[in-house]
Amino acid sequence: MNLKELLVSVHAALQDAHIEHALIGAFAMAHYGIQRATGDIDFLIDEIDKKNTVITFEKLGFKIFHQTDEIIQFEGPGSIDFLLAKRELSLKMLQEAKVIKPFNIKCISIEGLIGLKIQAYNNDPKREFQDKADILSLIEQYP
C-alpha cells in the first residue's frame, strides 16, 4: 500500500471509529508546502481514544511495534504513528486543527507543528538537525 492509499485508509478507519485526529509530521509539512521524505504517516489523537485506536488498527492487521505514554507506533500494511494529546496545549492543537483538501482531513496549525518539532528534538537530540531545518523552512515559507 502506498502512502496516499494508507492515508485514505487510515483516515476512513479513524472516522468510522469516531476518533478525532489531525495530521502532523511530514504530511502536515507537505500541506504547508515543505516536502520531506517519510515512510510513515503521523497523527495527533486524544489520549482518551488510545484503546479504541489500538482495537481499530489491530482489526485492520496492524501491530504495535512501539508504545509509550506519549505515542503508539503501528506497522503492518503501512507505518502509522499516533501522538497522544493529553496536555492542554496538545488537546487545543487537536481541537483547532483545520480540514484540508484534497482528503478532507484535519491538519494542525503551523504554530502547533513548530511546537511539536521543538518537543520532538528536546525528547530526542538525534532529531534536532532535521527538526530545526523543518522549523526554519516553515518560518521562511510563512514569515
- For residue 16, how far is the Cα from the chain centroid? 18
**pLDDT reported for residue 31:** 95
Query: What is the arithmetic mean of pLDDT over 1-14?
Result: 93
Tell me how many degrees the CA angle 100-85-51 measures, rounded to the nearest 5. 100
C-alpha cell at 98: 483545520
What domains, with CATH codes, occur in the chain? Answer: 3-108 (3.30.460.40)
The answer to whether residue 143 scores a pLDDT higher than 90 is no
What would the pLDDT profile of 32-53 be if each residue is shown by its tens digit?
A: 999 988 889 999 999 999 999 9
Whole-angstrom Cα distance, residue 107 to residue 90? Answer: 13
Q: Are 117 and 134 in contact (CB under 8 A)?
A: yes
Name the pLDDT band for 138 (thresholds 50, 70, 90).
very high
Q: Give percent of the chain with pLDDT exceeding 90.
A: 90
**pLDDT reported for residue 136:** 95
87 SS3 class: coil
